[in-house]
Structure 1
Amino acid sequence: MDSKALEELIAQYGPDAISIGIRAASALAMLLIGYWVAKFISGIVRKAMTNRGTDATLTNFLAKLVFFIIFALAAIPALAHAGIQTASVIAALGAAGLAVGLALQGSLANFAAGVLLIAFRPCRVGDWVDAGGCSGTVESISLFSTILLTGDYKRIVIPNSQVMSDAITNYSVMPRRRIDLVVGISYDADMRVAKDILKKLVDADERILKDPAPTIAVSELGDSSVNLVCRPWVATADYWATRWKLTEDIKTEFDAAGVGIPYPQMDVHFHKEA
């Protein structure tokens, strides 16, 4: 190509190429600025929520949500400035989103349930819960699944839709819990002695709270035993240790006092016909 033809090409297409290049460079600059602004503001949100002691899962979710919203708001005018028809792009993205949504209905249900879990927080990381048919300590809550760590150190990943579709029992959220013990004694045993033993054991354990006061009462006259209930209140962290110790001490003290704990039994009478 000779110099004259090159000059003609430059004269014909040069201004447009320069204009396109300037628009592309400015659009890229807008994207970069939008990215850094989104990152900066999401960082401020994350830091503010962390300083206020907000749950880590909720903090991460809101910080990421703020980042993507701000970046999207910056990306749309940047694309328009570059000469791209954003209306058609948005329509294409909407159609693609609809198709993906129909294909990923289960995942979207998990996502929606994850948003509800993070927003309403029926359980938090570190809580012991019954959820989705499983029991364990909440290790993490993400947008699609909840991870529990069982007492024998097994890791259970539960879809969030399964967690939200069933009742969630949170054993850690309240500062205190009530121990419910049912102790059966024989009908020949002295109930007053048995109740005195239970009261002595409850009063002797410093972990048992004085307020609310423990309940010790006769709950039922069973088929083969008189059933007593012992219901003391303890701090949530002391629940299992206190329950195990109290159960062991009841058996030891009843044996020492001669208060019998009967086995289930049934009397069968035979009548001989004449």
Structure 2
Amino acid sequence: MQESFDINDSIEGIWEKLGEWTDSLILSLPNFILAILVFVLFVIAAKYVGKLLGRILRFKVRQDSIREITIKIVKVLVIVLGFFVALGLLNLDTVLTSVLAGAGVVGLAIGLALQGTLNNTFSGILLSFLPEIQIGDWIENNGYAGRVVEINLRSIVIKEADNNYVVIPNSQVVDAPFKNFSRTSRSRVMLDCGVGYESDLELVKELTIKAISEHFPQKGNEEVEFMYKEFGDSSINFVVRFWTDVTSNREILLARSKAVIAVKKIYDENDINIPFPIRTLEFNNKLNIDRSSED
């Protein structure tokens, strides 16, 4: 009889517990439905936020990979926010606290493990929004010079003049100074040269400025600048500076080559000498040479 009594009590306890759970489920059903609806709305909102962000980034970011990863990150953040709001509607404060604590620990561990990678990633996102460097620009950075062909979340890729590609981590580009030849349409080109000591220096200056001005018209307040620098070993050296349309290292070399041809031509027409180093050997042991020849 005792065993039958215990079984009946257990069955009644189970039914009472199931009844309590059913009542609790019925009472929580509106919040549960509301939480599902809120989460679905956040998922839909993430989709439209991604589309809107894509339209905005299309005019700001030229790199497709940067736009795509940025849109994905924003969509995930919106969905995660909806998940936490849904948990709050279900009054699952303990679960929400545990999830946030676990996310913090996991995020810290991932951040420490991928510190260098994350640094390059955030630097890549920063570079994609900087107007100072864009795809197609000719830059100098970390001892390399070339045209930017790609900006991704890990590095930028530049193509050097010798047709080789150089991959530079984004963090190094952000942390180090870089020179961008393409940000300005006109730049100043410098040409070094020298003339013989017998030359008329005033005439040399006049002819040089004339030759450069004819081939490189100056605009606005620009002017051809000519300055003598020093008395060299075999020439009086000078530098001439002028403005022209250049946006890459190659165009600078072409402009300097054109200037060399122009200056050499006008110097030849006016018998102006551009000397080259000469080494003179003197033999002061003539007496010894004569004696050795007699022997």
Q: TM-score, normalised by structure 2?
A: 0.72
**Corresponding position of 2:163:** 153
| 54-63 vs 185-194, greater mean Cα deviation | 54-63
Task: Give the total of aligned pairs.
Answer: 262
Contact 1:132 1:164 in 2 (8 A): no
| 21-30 vs 34-43, greater mean Cα deviation | 21-30
| 260-269 vs 127-136, greater mean Cα deviation | 260-269
45, 50, 60: which one pairs with 1:54? 60
Contact 1:209 1:234 in 2 (8 A): no
Secondary structure at 2:86 match in 1: helix
Report how far residue 46 of structure 1 moved.
3.1
Report how far residue 186 of structure 1 moved.
1.9
166, 186, 194: which one pairs with 1:176? 186
Q: 1:210 to 1:39 in 2, by over 3 A?
A: same
Q: 1:247 to 1:209 in 2, by over 3 A?
A: farther
Opposite residue 264 of structure 2, the aligned amino acid is K
| 77-86 vs 177-186, greater mean Cα deviation | 77-86
Q: Does 1:127 align with 2:137?
A: yes
73, 76, 84: which one pairs with 2:81? 73
**Corresponding position of 1:3:** none
Report how far residue 269 of structure 1 moved.
7.8
Contact 2:212 2:263 in 1 (8 A): no
Alpha-carbon distance between aligned partners in 1 of 2:231 and 2:278, rounded to the nearest angstrom: 14
Uncovered stretches (5+) of structure 1, i.e. residues with no partner: 1-7
Q: 1:39 to 1:271 in 2, by over 3 A?
A: farther
Deviations 1:100-128 (CA, angstroms, capped at 9, x unpaired): 22222221232343344345443222211
Alpha-carbon distance between aligned partners in 1 of 2:279 and 2:124, rounded to the nearest angstrom: 53
Q: 1:248 to 1:78 in 2, by over 3 A?
A: farther
Q: 1:193 to 1:108 in 2, by over 3 A?
A: same
48, 67, 81: which one pairs with 1:40? 48
Q: 1:251 to 1:191 in 2, by over 3 A?
A: same
Q: 1:100 to 1:247 in 2, by over 3 A?
A: same
Contact 2:216 2:244 in 1 (8 A): no
Q: Does 1:225 align with 2:231?
A: no
Deviations 1:82-109 (CA, angstroms, capped at 9, x unpaired): 7691221221121112112222222123
Q: Does 1:142 align with 2:152?
A: yes
Contact 1:207 1:242 in 2 (8 A): no
Secondary structure at 1:109 match in 2: helix
Opposite residue 34 of structure 1, the aligned amino acid is F
Alpha-carbon distance between aligned partners in 2 of 1:98 and 1:194, rounded to the nearest angstrom: 69
Alpha-carbon distance between aligned partners in 1 of 2:86 and 2:277, rounded to the nearest angstrom: 80
**Corresponding position of 1:199:** 209
TM-align CA RMSD = 3.6
Alpha-carbon distance between aligned partners in 2 of 1:263 and 1:77, rounded to the nearest angstrom: 81
Report how far residue 265 of structure 1 moved.
4.4
Report how far residue 80 of structure 1 moved.
5.2
Contact 1:30 1:78 in 2 (8 A): yes
Report how far residue 70 of structure 1 moved.
2.2
**Corresponding position of 1:235:** 245
Alpha-carbon distance between aligned partners in 1 of 2:79 and 2:257, rounded to the nearest angstrom: 55
Alpha-carbon distance between aligned partners in 1 of 2:220 and 2:283, rounded to the nearest angstrom: 52
Secondary structure at 2:227 match in 1: strand
Report how far residue 180 of structure 1 moved.
0.7
Q: TM-score, normalised by structure 1?
A: 0.76
Alpha-carbon distance between aligned partners in 2 of 1:246 and 1:32, rounded to the nearest angstrom: 68
258, 271, 275: which one pairs with 1:245? 258
Alpha-carbon distance between aligned partners in 1 of 2:106 and 2:262, rounded to the nearest angstrom: 66
274, 277, 286: which one pairs with 1:264? 277
**Corresponding position of 2:288:** none
Contact 2:199 2:273 in 1 (8 A): yes
Larger Rg: 2
